[in-house]
Structure 1
């Protein structure tokens, strides 16, 4: 497994808490048997919290402010490395251009044609 640090997602923050994060941080420093039990216990509590969240209105409330593909892609961008982020931003730009009306597309095309003396 890689030893990268990952940002916590909004969903993660709904199923874990600071105490569980602290316990997970000390697992590598304690006796192997106890570490195994604590690791499984923490993951079990997170799984239990996941079921609780899914039965709750929390997911609906979280989704209320995040509608649409663009909003989802903006959130995903936070978790990407620089190269992948640049690729996603290019894709989002292309998507925006595809959603433009024909008049706006024609204006952009005319601008490029003028720029290249066509």
Structure 2
């Protein structure tokens, strides 16, 4: 089965065209090498899929005949993604979550001074 079709059938991508684009951009790898969307995958191979800033590590257990339901996905792949990947994503969310709300606009002069003061206070310690 083609790698783009496999990723679509096991529900890593919503559409097959999105899976194809991910392959073309180099977000899907086997043994560290980029794949074309038409590359065939076989049972026992390990895929590395970069999606939403997480590197998912998958082992192919079986090849489905068609797109499977969400409850049946675990029959066809084994997710061996380390928990550190998900923890790093959580830290990234918290690092972006600072005191200004989204859509408020550019920082004022006072905001800029407060930010500079905060940064210089941390570097002096």
Q: Which has the higher strand share?
A: 2
TM exceeds 0.5? no
Q: TM-score, normalised on structure 1?
A: 0.23
Q: TM-score, normalised on structure 2?
A: 0.22
Larger gyration radius, structure 1 or structure 2: 1
